[in-house]
Amino acid sequence: MNHFEFHGGELCCEGVPLARIAQAVGTPVYVYSSATLERHYQVLRDALTGVGIADPLIAFAVKANPNVAVLRTLARQGAGADVVSEGEIRRALAAGVPADRIVFSGVGKTRGEIAFALQTGVAEINVESEPELELIDAVGRELGVRAAVAIRVNPDVEAGGHAKISTGKADNKFGVSLAEAGRLYARAANMAGVRAVGVACHIGSQITDLSPMRAAFAKMRSLVERLRGEGLSVERLDLGGGLGVPYFNQPEPPPPAEYAAMIAEVVKGLDVRLAFEPGRMVAANAGVLVAQVLHIHERPEGRRFLVIDAAMNDLIRPAMYDAYHDIRPLRPRLGEHVIYDVVGPVCETGDTFTRDRPLPPLKAADLLAFMTAGAYGSAMASEYNSRLLVPEVLVKGDEFAVVRPRPTYDDMLARERTAPWF
């Protein structure tokens, strides 16, 4: 469920017409619903606790939507943060996420980032390789602390979805193999600068079938039992994220209640604290990208291009992942649907949001909403073609606030310096 619905002939975010936001802020603009963010977090939390999973750490994947106001909305619900850089740690802290609810993941942590995480007091660092384990140990000894670590395991499970967001196969860069996990865990348990507290896995994103998750989680249970059988303490099990969301053209993913029931069945009697790293399932349907039609370019051979003011630098998912986003006019249009290629102004053929999409008849200045854009939308935006970053707006009830303003061209140019020889 999301809170983007038609009221009085206008598409609204909660109690605010999106057209009102577009008029006040300009387009393109990202708009997020507080009520949807809160509800999605609550539904997942209630599903997990409802099957007897006590005190789960639900660490929102900051990479999905790093806006501090979004993170603060979730932090007030009790969410932690799954982070992959020092910058994301700083964003989570700025949003009010307690350090002891932050999980530091990622395959390429630097010495400086590890030191910052340990000085901050994050809950745990997920170790992705033996060289990284050695580095964390060295930094921990230098700082006089023992870093709480979980060994991230690549369970070699095919999870479906786009190849670029699949992370659980043996040929992916993430984590260590099951074969080496036991040796590394035992080594970590005997290091002076680290404290082995658990194991972790994360097999991908936008997974709409519970079967691969069940297979991966069963392997993780077996690993925990094997480690304990060797006399090693395992306190935590991080099962990652990955449960899909409805993108309108895909099969409906399993509801959180089924996901939680499957997990409870797999880990029954294991006595570990569970952690989860949802991103997309919390944020995707909580956001839209609002854009304006610039003009319609009709070719003699019948191709009809709907040219809008948003581009691939604003929402790169269709270009990068062939992702589908439902497109809705902010005001309903009567008449037979027309076939459009929806494109942006960037100088790339790849700046195409969709081809051969049937939409209501549209004209210049009409406003459109790209649905399910709250995750990996603004987070992946750039200034390609020297286009300004898109502003972000957060709605709560009948109020809205600009939570990241659109920069000016002077702002963009001021970040650069000329060379002294010019």
Q: Which CATH number applies to 4-32+284-414?
A: 2.40.37.10
Q: For tokens 């901050």, name the residue.
A: 120
**Contact (Cβ atoms closer than 8 angstroms) between residue 262 and residue 210:** yes
pLDDT in tens, 282-311: 999 999 999 999 999 999 888 999 999 999
**Contact (Cβ atoms closer than 8 angstroms) between residue 256 and residue 51:** no
Choosing from 12, 13, 201, 347, the catalytic residue is 347
Catalytic residue at 12? no
Q: What residues form DSSP beta bridges with 330? A: none
Lowest-pLDDT range of 32-41, 165-174, 338-347, 366-375: 165-174
So what's the pLDDT on residue 163?
47
Closest CA to 110 of 89, 81, 80: 89
Query: How far is residue 202 from each of residues 157, 175, 243, 336, measured CA to CA in Å?
Result: 10, 9, 11, 45
DSSP result, 14-69: TTEEHHHHHHHH-SSEEEEEHHHHHHHHHHHHHHHHHTT--S-EEEEEGGG---HH
Cis peptide bond prior to 56, omega within 30° of 0: no
> What mean pLDDT is predicted for residues 27-40?
98
- Across the chain, mean pLDDT equals 93
Confidence of residue 156 (pLDDT cuts 50, 70, 90): confident
Separation of alpha carbons 175 and 196, rounded Å: 15
So what's the pLDDT on residue 206?
80
Above 60 in pLDDT, residue 160?
Answer: no
Domain definitions of the chain by residue range:
4-32+284-414, 34-282
Confidence of residue 170 (pLDDT cuts 50, 70, 90): very low
Interior angle at CA 102, CA 237 and CA 90, nearest 5: 155
CA 102 to chain centre: 15
Above 90 in pLDDT, residue 175?
Answer: no
> 24-46 burial, b if ≥16 CB within 10 A, otherwise e?
ebebbbbbbbbbbbbbbbebbbe
pLDDT above 70 covers what percent of the chain?
A: 95
3-class secondary structure, 105: coil
Above 60 in pLDDT, residue 420?
Answer: yes
**CATH 3.20.20.10 is the classification of domain 34-282:** yes
Above 60 in pLDDT, residue 85?
Answer: yes
Query: Rounded to 5 degrees, what are φ and ψ at 354?
Result: -165, 150
Closest CA to 75 of 56, 52, 58: 58
Above 90 in pLDDT, residue 225?
Answer: yes
Whole-model pTM: value is: 0.94
> 269-305 burial, b if ≥16 CB within 10 A, otherwise e?
eeebebbbbbbbbbbbbbbbbbbbbbebeeeeeeeeb
Above 50 in pLDDT, residue 162?
Answer: no
Q: For tokens 């469920």, name the residue.
A: 1
Domains 4-32+284-414 and 34-282 are alike in CATH topology: no
Confidence of residue 208 (pLDDT cuts 50, 70, 90): confident
**Contact (Cβ atoms closer than 8 angstroms) between residue 306 and residue 132:** no
Lowest-pLDDT range of 96-105, 122-131, 155-164, 228-237: 155-164
Confidence of residue 1 (pLDDT cuts 50, 70, 90): low
So what's the pLDDT on residue 158?
63
pLDDT in tens, 353-373: 999 999 999 999 999 999 999
Separation of alpha carbons 210 and 208, rounded Å: 7
> 133-146 burial, b if ≥16 CB within 10 A, otherwise e?
bbbbbbbbeeeeeb
Separation of alpha carbons 234 and 153, rounded Å: 14
